[in-house]
Chain A
Amino acid sequence: MLMKLLSGDRPASPVLTVLLLVILIGLAFAPFLFPGSKPLETAARICIFIVLVASYDLLIGYTGIVSFAHTMFFGLGAYGTALGLTLGGASFAAAGLGALCGVGLAALLALAIGLFSLRVKAIFFAMVTLAIASAFAVLVSQLSFLTGGEDGLNYKIPRELTPAFKLFAEPVLGLRIDGKVLSYYLVFGVALALFLALVRIVNSPFGRVLKAVRDNGFRAEAIGYKAVHYRTAATVLSAMMAAMAGVLLALWLRYTGPATTLSMEIMVDILLMVVIGGMGTMYGAVIGATLFILAQTYLQALMGLAEGATAGIPLLSALVAPDRWLLWLGVLFVLSVYFFPTGIVGRLRAGKAGAA
């Protein structure tokens, strides 16, 4: 039963299994285990980013193509939902319709980009997506009558998902089950389902062909698989998944703006998560996203302490300032591409194989 859910893709390392279980349990019972609003925000962000990073891994890890437009698809889903809720009022129907438009548009755009630029070479695709994604971000911030420009959109979500809504009169296990908790479980449930769907996709015959195209496109063509078709299909699928992650973000935050969805910083974050976690395994996305967001939330406080401790030394204290944490992640990123190209998950699995 469990193997069926995971599509036969075992974590294949005891440490990894334990880590994944800890993350799963931590996320599943987050509202009960870690009371307060900040941990809940962090947990929801982790859920959303696991889907986002896993969908990106489908592209970079399994198909071997680098796209810089992933945040654009993420943003399309988020803005679709946000516009649905803004224009149609706070109902599930409006949110659903908006989400559908966003995801559909993301799929169409991915299809168009894929068809006209995946024929040439991977590097070309990376450049084209970078250009298109930045143009899209600029367009969104310019069309302020529709998207709210740089300020973004604030909107109401259906009442059942707001803190004002109480599911039960009595608290359960010491926790009042309000709309916020419901909303969290909506995010968690959908994220889990999407993640399992992605695991299913990469372990299907289709996923096998993707890997073949990644490892040797020429050979895959020779056996009779059209590389362009498979690459484009992977692009469209991953774009749709990213857009759905965007829908979740829009529902959770009750706000959609360029900084939370479209910015280059988010794209860099995704890249870091996927590489540090491990490319080419869906579990890498889980580990990468969790570690990264925990670090983002809590490491900066630690660096603040380090800055205080080294306040006397001019350059060093500037280097460990909390704002500079991206510097250290960048260094970690480059080092991990060189020395651990398979990321944390790859290391854990290799360690096991070496011991056996």
Chain B
Amino acid sequence: MSETLIRPRIEARPLGERLAEKLPLLLVPLLMLGGLIVTGSPSTWATLTVAGLAMGLMIFIMASGLTLVFGLMDIINFGHGAFVAVGAFIGFTVLTWLSGWTGHPSVLMNLAAMLIAVTVTMLATGLIGYGFEKVIIKPVYGQHLKQILVTMGGMIIAQQLIHVVWGPDALHLSRPLALQGSWVIGDAAIEKYRIVAVGVGLALFVAMRHVLKHTKVGLLVRAGVENGEMVEALGYRIRRLFLVVFMVGSALAGLGGVMWGLYQETITAHMGSEIMVLVFIVVIIGGLGSVEGCFIGALLVGLLANYTAFAAPKVALVSTIGLMVVVLMWRPQGLYPVVKAK
């Protein structure tokens, strides 16, 4: 008689349920299709879509850190925008030093300058993030009301310090020579910089997913989001893990700041608080704590903002609020709720 092997049987969930989970993925192509109908001309549509994707991915870069920090430690950083602004200003300073390189006709020199600027910015904002966590956030751990107030206060201070260091005026940030101008494909003019932004954003998303799904650190982060106490009970120092995630989030905000600054070509101390509105909308749409949700939310917001800016410029920002309301009516916790209401 052969041994009967008893193994747990995991029921395959019904197809409908699994499909419903993937439903939000369909929203992006649907919105693109809607955009095509509204704009009516394929070339305009292509330009707008690339612009929307670029904008969405830059917002994703800034929002991903915020949503992870929230998921992991239940802390929402209203001062996240300060890192965006500080990042843009540091990037500006570095690019000004390297103006010989950015103005150089060689593409390689241009890219090297970009790379140096981005690296310096990310290091600097990561370090500032370390200080911010230690000084501003740590004392108000677990108290939501105070967190909101204190991080808001940190944002005011950061904005004012930017005024002290870089002066009160808006600064002009010019793109490296190789990233100026646009390619013309068919009738559609597509700015080079937007393609670069899409590339960086996609690469970051893929890398982030890889780290989260296939490495030990990622496993701990995901476990921490799911149940922080259990991870601690297993002997991992979740505080240290959190500090690292916070620093990475701040560094990403800085990167987003440089990229956004190069996209707009003007930077002000208030750009952080302005962009935070979009970042919050994205984080809410995606579901607090979810990187995938944040990605889809960012694409939706970027695309919708660009289509409406073309079709009805006056209501561009209101349309994203409308999107948020619709999504929340469909899924009150966002597209991919990760954090159960604690």
Which residues of chain A have a CB within 8 Å of any CB of chain B? 60, 64, 66, 116-117, 119-124, 126-128, 130-132, 134-135, 138-139, 142-143, 264, 268, 271, 275, 315, 318-319, 323-324, 326-327, 329-331, 333-334, 337-338, 341
8 Å CB contacts to A: which residues of B258-277? 273-274, 276-277
- A134 in complex: contacting residue of B145, B156, B277, B314, CB < 8 Å: B277
Residues on A with beta carbons closer than 8 Å to the beta carbon of B283:
127
B5 close to chain A: CB less than 8 A: no
Do B153 and A333 have beta carbons less than 8 Å apart? yes
Tell whether, in the assembled complex, residue A271 and residue B146 are in contact, meaning their CB atoms are under 8 Å apart. no
A139 touches B315 (CB 8 A): yes
How many whole Å from A53's CB to the nearest CB in chain B? 14
Q: Which residues of chain B from 58 to 89 have any CB-CB distance to chain A below 8 Å in the complex?
A: 76, 78
User: Which secondary structure dominates where chain B touches chain A?
Assistant: helix
Give the top 5 A-B pairs by smallest Cβ distance, nearest first.
A327-B160, A330-B156, A334-B153, A330-B157, A142-B314
Residues of B within 8 A of A334 (CB): 136, 150, 153-154, 157
Chain B interface size, as a band, is 35 or more
Q: Which chain A residues lie closer than 8 Å to B136 at the CB level?
A: 334
User: 22 A-B pairs, CB-CB below 8 angstroms?
Assistant: A66-B148, A117-B328, A120-B333, A120-B341, A122-B144, A123-B148, A124-B284, A130-B280, A131-B277, A131-B284, A131-B324, A135-B318, A135-B320, A268-B156, A275-B149, A315-B164, A324-B160, A324-B164, A327-B156, A334-B150, A337-B146, A337-B153
B329 contacts chain A at the CB level, 8 A cutoff? yes
Query: Which residues from chain A contact B42 at a C-beta distance below 8 Å?
Result: none
Given A318-B164, A329-B156, A330-B153, 13 more pairs with CB closer than 8 A: A60-B145, A119-B332, A123-B144, A127-B284, A128-B324, A134-B274, A135-B318, A135-B321, A139-B314, A326-B160, A327-B163, A331-B153, A338-B150
Taking a contact as CB atoms under 8 Å apart, the answer to whether A135 and B150 are in contact is: no
Would you give the 0/1 interface string for B139-175, flagging 1 where the beta carbon is closer than 8 Å to chain A?
1100011111110111011001101100010000000
**Beta-carbon contact of A268 and B164 below 8 Å:** no
The residue in chain A whose Cβ has the minimal distance to the Cβ of B278 is A131
CA distance A116 to B325 in the complex (A): 9
Docked pose: A135 CA to B274 CA in angstroms: 10
In this assembly, does B255 line the interface, its C-beta being within 8 Å of a C-beta of chain A? no
B283-342 at interface with A (beta carbon < 8 Å): 283-284, 288, 314-315, 317-318, 320-321, 324-325, 328-329, 332-333, 341-342
Q: How far is the CA of A304 from the CA of B152 in the complex (A)?
A: 26
Taking CB atoms, residues of chain A closer than 8 Å to B274 are: 134
Interface positions, chain B 103-134, Cβ under 8 Å from A, are: none
User: Considering the chains assembled together, what is the distance between the CA atoms of A37 and B283 in angstroms?
Assistant: 48
Q: Which residues of B contact A131 (CB under 8 A)?
A: 277, 280-281, 284, 321, 324
Interface residues of B in 155-204 (CB under 8 A from A): 156-157, 160-161, 163-164, 168
8 Å CB contact of A66 from B149, B314, B332: B149
When C-beta atoms are compared, the residue in chain B nearest to A126 turns out to be B148
Q: Which residue of A lies closest to B160 (CB)?
A: A327
| Contact (Cβ within 8 A) B146 A139 | no
Contact A271 B273 (CB under 8 A): no
Q: Give Cα A327–Cα B165 distance, bound, in whole angstroms.
A: 13
With A60-B145, A324-B160, A330-B157 known as contacts, the answer to whether A337 contacts B140 (CB < 8 A) is yes
Q: Which residues of B contact A268 (CB under 8 A)?
A: 152, 156
Contacts of B145 in A (CB 8 A): 60, 64, 66, 122
Whether A323 contacts B317 in the complex (CB less than 8 A), given A275-B149, A341-B146, comes out as no
Cα separation A131 to B282 with both chains bound (whole Å)? 10
Contact A139:B154 (CB < 8 A) given known A64-B145, A275-B149:
no
Nearest residue in A to B337 (C-beta to C-beta)?
Answer: A120
Bound-state CA distance A119–B209 (Å) is 31
Q: Specify which chain B residues have a CB less than 8 angstroms from the CB of A337 in the assembled complex.
A: 140, 146, 149-150, 153
A204 to B274 CA separation, bound complex (whole angstroms):
40
A231 to chain B, nearest CB (A): 14
Contact A138 B317 (CB under 8 A): yes
Give the distance to chain A from B254, nearest Cβ to Cβ, in Å: 21
